[in-house]
Structure 1
């Protein structure tokens, strides 16, 4: 039987990457969509061509590497340009993840993506896991991690779907509030997915 395709996501500061690491220690094959997107933006010919057409040759530096800071500045406050960027990158990353997941042999594979629901990539998956945490805790985590102001964190949060919206799509929810133990929540989902695969 084919490996089950599972996505994991959560808003900024929810701790989805930390939760993903715990799944990885259980031997679950793992695809980091944000990391793979960065790789593909430098290496995939269709993405390179699309970005140069949309943003001009300065989107890549003299060494042919993506000028990430410059590109971020172009799209940060321009929703049309951000939509254009996502339209170039997301379909190729989604397909890359599908191709990767089809090569996996474990009961299930895990794909972590910040914009799992926003990008529509959840439609290529069998189940999704949403990591949630109280907003104030998320803000404090990001401020400490990135050394940014509360306003900066809130601006980034407003660009993402709310947890309430995401819960409509989630198959499983993990609460990462620093009170409820994480390991039992993760292990319960892990066992459920292995059981589903075994049926």
Structure 2
């Protein structure tokens, strides 16, 4: 039996991390790609490549500085592409090793904010999209990150619209109400488990 790889994604403020945590609470192995990417950034190999690409200006006390890096790439698609080209292949290799460690599970979840934008959705057996109304998402992020509405909208611009993501997704969880979202997640677990046992 092959372990299925299920992608989990959603725009900023959709609550995909909350849904990922819910899947984990149900015993599903969950890989948080963004957390692993942060760890990989500080490995000697990645640090060296980042220094070569962007110089000392994105370092603080000999370590890559995520704040400086994100300011540098935020409005510069070319530099963002450069950074992703350093980090993404390393996350992919790490993920492959992680999947092997969970080979007895019917399926695992790979949670990634830019699953579609990075093209890594193509390596998933199915994709779950977490959505919420735009205004709800804006409010959540303003409150969570203590930022302005303009800041949230600028960050949203770097991600695909939900409609575009929905067209490529197999399951959609509407996370306006967490109780309803959890029920939808339970249904998805049942469906995938029944497919895996065939």
Normalising by the smaller structure, the TM-score range is: over 0.9
Find the counterpart in structure 2 of residue 77 from structure 1: 75
1:191–1:44 CA distance, 2 compared to 1 (3 A): farther
1:76–1:191 CA distance, 2 compared to 1 (3 A): same
| Consecutive unaligned residues in structure 1, runs of 5 or more | none
**More moved, 3-12 vs 97-106:** 97-106
Find the counterpart in structure 2 of residue 65 from structure 1: 63
Q: Give deviations 1:91-146, integer Å, cap 9, x for gaps.
A: 22122212211221211111110000111111121111000011011001111111
RMSD between aligned residues = 1.5
State the aligned residue count: 197
After TM superposition, the structure 1 = structure 2 runs for residues 163-182 of structure 1, keeping only pairs within 5 Å, are 163-178=162-177, 181-182=180-181
The Cα of 1:44 is off from its aligned counterpart by: 5.4
2:177 is paired with a residue of what secondary structure? coil
The Cα of 1:171 is off from its aligned counterpart by: 1.1
Q: Give deviations 1:134-172, integer Å, cap 9, x for gaps.
A: 101100111111111111111100110000110121111
Quick one: distance in 1 between partners of 2:66 and 2:164?
29
Quick one: distance in 1 between partners of 2:115 and 2:93?
13
| Consecutive unaligned residues in structure 2, runs of 5 or more | none
Contact kept? 2:47, 2:63, Cα under 8 Å: no
Find the counterpart in structure 1 of residue 130 from structure 2: 131
Find the counterpart in structure 1 of residue 186 from structure 2: 187
2:64 is paired with a residue of what secondary structure? coil
2:128 is paired with a residue of what secondary structure? strand
Quick one: distance in 2 between partners of 1:7 and 1:65?
31
Structure 1 residue runs of 4+, over 4 Å off? none
Contact kept? 2:24, 2:30, Cα under 8 Å: yes
Contact kept? 2:132, 2:175, Cα under 8 Å: yes
Q: How does the TM-score come out when normalised to structure 1?
A: 0.94
Quick one: distance in 2 between partners of 1:102 and 1:141?
36
From 84, 92, 95, the counterpart of 2:93: 95
Quick one: distance in 2 between partners of 1:61 and 1:101?
34
1:180–1:27 CA distance, 2 compared to 1 (3 A): closer
Quick one: distance in 1 between partners of 2:132 and 2:183?
16
